[in-house]
Amino acid sequence: MASLLTFFSFFQVAQMFLNIPPNTAQHNEYAKCSATCTRRPAFGRTCINLVSANIHMHLTGSSGSIYIRKSNGVVQHIVEETNFQYNKPEEHMWNPGSEPKICPGDEVIVRCGFNSIGSKTPSHYGEGTQDEMCVGYLTYYPKRNFPFCAQGGNIDYCETNGEVIGGALPRCDFYNFLMGMTLWNIVNDASSSRSACLSNGCSSECLRKMLCTYYRQHPCLGYADLRHAVSEYLKEYYDPTDSTAPIYRMFGQKLDACHKAAMASTSPIRCNSMGGWNMPFGG
């Protein structure tokens, strides 16, 4: 008998940028698998059928829902939880013949409700229980090579056939950019004693450093929308167990200031022998 895994599979719908304010009774965050992602060839040309679904949050999770926005605009609510409990996750299942379908061009939206009453600091995305998550786990058939579908802010992140597709952001694997060493290396350099970016605001020397060095070290920083999303995330980053959190927040403020300066500039910035860009850079 063939394994059930031959016929069934699952994928995650997640939000990578979470900013949950402290001491707040109700705060919603949204994860979305966009129509851009479900139109990827790896999703297939036909619909998939959902077998089960559940919502994953951590200790401040209090409610949640999952719904499908069809390509014609019709919204189908498939999961509603008003009393989410981290230690008692609820599995929602459908019988054969009644399964919700996700078709190419549809969107899957996960709403995560958080109750942070009693907390003194913001919560962000992370794997520890002191952090938070907003993820929908969906089991479906027939099997496709479509394991991960997420967003960072409003920026798409789809993984298909082992290849990371950053929506409209070619070569930008922003999950590994955020969670790997590249971002830390940039932040660490920007905060060093020799950095051109230690002064307040965004000096011309700091802007040149951003454009000619940091933006070129990783393709993700070549996109204005993602630079803005990353700066907003880092400006609010707080982790009492992470001694580097203040450095990340400082870089987020600097990235925001230089992003605004770059978008407002009308003059090209020369990068030594590498030539120059006409502003605004990215888009």
Q: Which CATH class is domain 8-165?
A: mainly beta
Is 283:222 a contact under the CB 8 Å cutoff? no
Predicted local distance difference test score (pLDDT) of residue 270? 67
Please give the Cα distance from 173 to 125 (Å, whole number): 17
Phi, psi of 189 (to 5 degrees): -65, -40
Q: What CA–CA distance (Å, rounded) separates 258 from 75?
A: 40
| Segments of the chain scoring below 70 in pLDDT | 1-6, 159-176, 178-180, 193, 223, 225, 238-240, 267-270, 272-283
Question: pTM above 0.75?
Answer: no
Residue 118 Rama label (left phi>0; alpha psi -120 to 50; beta): left
* CB within 8 Å of 160: residues ≥ 6 apart: 37, 40, 41, 42, 43, 145, 146
Give the model's pLDDT for residue 283. 38
Q: How far apart are CA 104 and CA 94, in angstroms?
A: 21
Question: pLDDT by residue (tens digit) across 79-132?
Answer: 999 999 999 989 999 998 899 999 999 999 999 999 999 998 888 888 777 889
Q: Which residues pair with 68 in a beta bridge?
A: 76, 108
The residues spanned by each domain of the chain are 8-165, 174-277
Model pLDDT, residue 268: 67
- How far apart, in whole angstroms, are the C-alpha atoms of residue 140 and residue 121? 38
In which residue are the tokens 């994953």 written? 56
With tokens 């051109």, the residue in question is 196
pLDDT of residue 64: 97
